[in-house]
Structure 1
Amino acid sequence: MSHPVDSTHPVEPSIARMTEEAAKQKAVATQEKRELAGDADYHDHKHLDNVVNNPNALLENPLQGISHERLEAMGRAFAREKGLGEFEDEFAKGAQVAQDPLAFESLTLLNDEDRNVLRREVTHKWDQPWRLYSLVVCCSMAAAVQGMDESVTNGANLFWAPQFGLITDPALDPNATNNQWILGVVNGAPYLCCAVLGCWLTAPLNNWFGRRGAIFITALLSALTCIWSGCTNSRWHLFAARFVLGLGIGPKSATVPVYAAETAPPLIRGALVMQWQVWTAFGIMLGTVSSLAFYYVNDTANITGLNWRLMLGSACLPAFFVMAQVYFCPESPRWLIGRGRYRDAFKSLCTLRHTKLQAARDLFLINALLEEEANMPSGKAALIELFSVPRNRRATLASGTVMFMQQFCGINAIAYYSSTIFREAGFSEVSALGATLGFGALNWIMAAPAVWTIDSMAYSPGEGPVPFTYSAEAFPLYVRDVGMSYATAVTWLFNFVVALTFPRLLDAFTPQGAFGWYAAWNAMGTLLVFLFVPETKGLSLEELDQVFSVPTAKHISYQVKVARTNFRRWILRQKIAPVPPLYQWEQATPATREF
């Protein structure tokens, strides 16, 4: 599985529960921004109109339109108010740089050393402190835990199912149909738990224990339930163990990419967060390696099925590695700010950036964004607003569509059952596992380009990570945490459906028919994306609000009209007028609207 990438990843609703002192500071900052609206320095009236008519626009950059002198004063005041007075000069400079991080060359407050540091940040973006890369390693291993949790059952299915009486071949057992459903239920148990419970625990775990605490707890749950799975003595005992495994998989899948996004520098944030997909694929491959490694392990006098028990239990190893490392990593500065712990947040950023200027810049901007998020009006529960507010409802429909198709493209049927598929195709069990290893290795290798090419190519660099990226962009910030919980729950729910139904599909449809079924869903998915999923790539928050403010019926009508016009222009070669642009920013450059 993959997960969202982007600096605007979901955050827990912590601002509503800030300390009294932090709440006072928020009120002061809000009043100051209102005063700035009448300040002569705040001269961008178009920007003010956008803020009034579209509150989400301010979240794109709450420092827009403020003069450099005012920003310097705000930075110094911020440092004094947050107990960071000894770094007042750094925050004065950082506040100016935060307004436009790439426009530092013109800032007179900076000296040559400051400019050299900021210039190198652009020209050598991969030159980062070792503490940042140690955090990336931790997050990558957490992703490998995720992938291994998903794939170790692939080889284990060959052994635990017949040991527990689940014969799925109709020629050998008259109850094969029922056994196929039970096999699917047991394999899909973690994803059922993720959908109905695990994903919705993400916010509480993050609120109470922080990013590192949530990762530690979910890794511990994953490790213990993997060991538990290897000690089960019946099919329903194994179901219970794997169901609890979902409590580790669900919150971890939401927390780890967010943790990476909140700690990474903006210029490499997307690339680092995309490592989730790469190392999840590595974990899937590692699960197959484990299956091959333990295939020939013999039973002992007291243990039957030692090989599959070791396969399932082996997924605990990367989880223990994550547990041992995570508390050596700095906590998310965004999470620390949400609790009023500004000095700790600054200390965290100083370990993740080369200089205190960079740390001050990022801390000042994060705080400004959090203040604006906290001021977003909301008269209803966020979950209700996902469906009651038209703009949010369209984002919910679009993100749900891509999350649904991420699973119903059929890729995880291969991840969970490829060894069974190859065995039914006439391969020996060892050869089936070897072929599965080839699939896992290819999936991992092809996941690497996802860092640069998530909008094209095959599954791993394309459809795999795109739904999470899309969902992170689609929701407004004030409901993004709940929106991402919903989106993640959708993908895990249909992951469960795939795991549940595929054993039965193999028998009822044959392997060719089963994959034909998913091929048909891919064709259907093409139509669903065409009709219900607007483009979000490269758009500002204001433009995204315009995109999702277009009624669904109007968007569908426009897409159909574009398709019809393009068919007539490019297939029938007719000379007809192009379709006018749908969105305001497209009207500046009139051109034919094409796919």
Structure 2
Amino acid sequence: MDIVFLVLLRPIGRIEISSKLPKNDQIDKSDPTCMSTGFHMRSNIMPCVNKLLGLLFGSAKCLWFNSPLVQLKEEFALSTIWHEAIVSATILTAWLFALVAGPCSDRFGRKAVILMASLVFAVGAILMGAAPEKITLLIGRLIVGIGIGLASMSVPMYLSEVAPADFRGRLVVVNNAFITGGQFIASLLCGALSTTNNGWRWMMGLAGVPAAIQLAGFLYLPESPRWLVANGKINEARAVLEKVRNPSDNKEEELSSIVEAVANSEEQSGIGEVIRSVTVRRALIIGCLLQLFQQISGINTVMYYSASIITMAGVTDKSLAIWLSAVTSSINFFCTFIGMWLVDKVGRRILTIGSLLGSTAALFALALSFHLAYLNSPVLSDDQDPGTCAAHTCGICTSKSACGFCFAGDMKNITEASCVLANHSSYNEMSKDGLCSNQTLIEEGEVTFAYDWCPYQYGWFSILGLGLYLFAFAPGMGPMPWTINSEIYPGWARATCTSIATSVNWASNLLVSLTFLTLTEVLLKHGAFYLYMGLAGLGTLVFYLILPETKGVPLENIEEVFSHPLGSKASRSEWKPKTRSF
């Protein structure tokens, strides 16, 4: 909460909104108070708001997508289709409104869009927490998606435009670190609420708290100086730079660069100009590919369904599954700090490629664990009649959404086993017939009904694979698509291109979320993760060939980085400022 108090208790006179900023002739550049204000604004306020934005996204992301689903499946008797729809609803509207966010941020400002996102976020969270049935829950998730679509596009762009070049990479990575931190905190909260009556309502409703705090805190922050210049508010942009830069920074030179960049691109805007510009088109291709491979390499499969994957690995206690998913979130959180330390040391290119390479290896381990579990799953003790649940092993049985594995005895000593139709009206806690249709036998522990898991001896291997995957993914492919996308477009194309790239992220996110459970039925669990492994490997090769280094490049010089054809050796060389001859 100290983050919030630093934002809210800051003297308002020092952080006035743009309409009250001093004019150029009112700024005394020799005034130490003015210089001190700049120092405080940069060192305290910007990192604080950056963390708050990340905490909002991260806590809400976990609270809506992951742990509550374990309880929701029972509360509303969700089928596989409804399970996927509840997850995907938010992603669908996030995708659509990420496209809208670009034009809105150009017209109304980055700050206004972020404020609107916070308000919509809070309303959607309240509706989800109060939902009496699954249709209302679905509507709430659609509303929340509007907020997250607006925020996911506008926040990285705002941070990149306000931060200086030497601070930009770390600031965007810090934002991602606190996204994962929010997920970790929310996972702990979900674990604490997992045994509480209507705990899922608290899990979802609490997502509105950071949104409301952000709405209040962001009122006192300045607008992007680049947006102010583009809208003819030069004096206000100058005042903002005085507040968000160190005393030793040359603010007038930076302002002149921004004014020049805006003046040179006054006639350029919109998707048509983006496509016609060779350098911007190359940047957009790379930006979209980064967002695409972030999703299709399986990260949100791991995060959204981590509790379900842990259950698949043989953890039957729902509360324990939620606590174990909190452990995976903690790995994601702490490993993001590795990326924060490396981003301005080794650069974006090495961090991205290394992360994808490690993710490929970890996905192989995860796929192999499920494959071994499938090959060694318990054999059914009785002959099955041909039909929906015809199977001879638990692995085949639980790959069918209509069926479940019923067994007597404990996991290490199964005395009787069969594959039977699941009773969806009790959310698959028991079967429609056979021994596992007897609630008394289940409660007394005489029999166990396993709907989407098997008593695998390799279950621990699956959980280890999840941890290794997050260890590889979090420092690089977690923050780098957002970091790189926030800095590779010229000012005139930044909103349009960031909006397009963000929409690619949400569209591919939607594709993965809609298809994961279906893939586990068609390709089986190990087949789905082998597929993600292959896609991550493909991404490693693609970015080795085409990804340039953007570390330390001023936003006004970014087009120089993409002046060479993609895939050429020159395009992968580190940018160096041109020397001026006198």
TM bin, normalised by shorter chain, reads 0.5 to 0.7
Alignment coverage as a number of residue pairs: 428
Counterpart residue number, 2:259 = 370
Secondary structure of the residue aligned to 1:297 is coil
The residue type equivalent to 2:331 in the other structure is L
1:351 to 1:476, Cα distance in 2 relative to 1, 3 A: closer
Contact 1:192 1:246 in 2 (8 A): yes
Distance 1:199 1:159 in 2: 33
Q: 1:296 aligns with which of 189, 195, 217?
A: 195
Q: Does 1:163 align with 2:63?
A: no
Counterpart residue number, 1:413 = 301
How far 1:346 moved relative to its partner?
4.3
Q: 1:84 aligns with which of 24, 28, 34?
A: 24
Q: 1:320 aligns with which of 212, 221, 229?
A: 212
Distance 1:89 1:279 in 2: 35
Counterpart mapping for 1:22-171 below 5 A: 84-85=24-25, 87=27, 128-129=39-40, 132-152=43-63, 153-166=65-78
How far 1:247 moved relative to its partner?
1.3
Distance 1:519 1:584 in 2: 25
How far 1:539 moved relative to its partner?
5.8
How far 1:196 moved relative to its partner?
1.9
Counterpart mapping for 1:214-229 below 5 A: 214-229=113-128
Contact 1:181 1:501 in 2 (8 A): no
Percent identity of paired positions between Structure 1 and Structure 2: 27
How far 1:443 moved relative to its partner?
0.7
The residue type equivalent to 2:297 in the other structure is C
Distance 1:214 1:587 in 2: 33
How far 1:503 moved relative to its partner?
2.1
Q: Does 1:195 align with 2:87?
A: no
Counterpart mapping for 1:257-276 below 5 A: 257-276=156-175
> What per-residue deviation string (whole Å, max 9, x for no partner) do you get for residues 316-362 of structure 1?
1111221222223344343344444445444444444565x75xx42
How far 1:237 moved relative to its partner?
2.8
1:206 to 1:327, Cα distance in 2 relative to 1, 3 A: farther
Q: 2:135 aligns with which of 236, 261, 278?
A: 236
Counterpart mapping for 1:448-487 below 5 A: 448-454=337-343, 455-456=350-351, 458-487=472-501
Distance 1:143 1:530 in 2: 29
How far 1:406 moved relative to its partner?
0.7
Counterpart residue number, 2:579 = none
Q: Does 1:506 align with 2:520?
A: yes
Question: Which ranges in structure 2 are unaligned for 5 or more consecutive residues?
Answer: 1-21, 344-349, 356-471, 577-582
Contact 2:101 2:153 in 1 (8 A): no
Distance 1:540 1:321 in 2: 32
Contact 2:102 2:498 in 1 (8 A): no
> What per-residue deviation string (whole Å, max 9, x for no partner) do you get for residues 68-103 of structure 1?
xxxxxxxxxxxxxx9533547759xxxxxxxxxxxx
Distance 2:575 2:151 in 1: 43
The residue type equivalent to 2:25 in the other structure is G
Counterpart residue number, 2:82 = 182
Distance 2:99 2:173 in 1: 20
Distance 1:546 1:480 in 2: 15
> What per-residue deviation string (whole Å, max 9, x for no partner) do you get for residues 271-327 of structure 1?
2232111111111112212211211212xxxxxxx2211111111111122122222
Distance 1:542 1:319 in 2: 33
Distance 1:406 1:87 in 2: 45
Q: What's the TM-score once normalised by structure 2's chain length?
A: 0.66
1:582 to 1:154, Cα distance in 2 relative to 1, 3 A: closer
1:582 to 1:224, Cα distance in 2 relative to 1, 3 A: closer
> What per-residue deviation string (whole Å, max 9, x for no partner) do you get for residues 388-428 of structure 1?
44433332222221111011111111110111111122112
Contact 1:400 1:490 in 2 (8 A): yes
Distance 1:130 1:543 in 2: 25
Q: What's the TM-score once normalised by structure 1's chain length?
A: 0.64
Q: 2:152 aligns with which of 250, 253, 258?
A: 253
1:389 to 1:423, Cα distance in 2 relative to 1, 3 A: same
1:206 to 1:138, Cα distance in 2 relative to 1, 3 A: farther
Contact 1:421 1:511 in 2 (8 A): no
1:322 to 1:547, Cα distance in 2 relative to 1, 3 A: closer
Secondary structure of the residue aligned to 2:67 is helix
> What per-residue deviation string (whole Å, max 9, x for no partner) do you get for residues 502-552 of structure 1?
222333334333222211111222233244445545567898656644455
Query: Which range moves more in the overlay, 415-424 or 535-544?
Result: 535-544
Q: 2:334 aligns with which of 423, 438, 445?
A: 445
Secondary structure of the residue aligned to 1:462 is coil
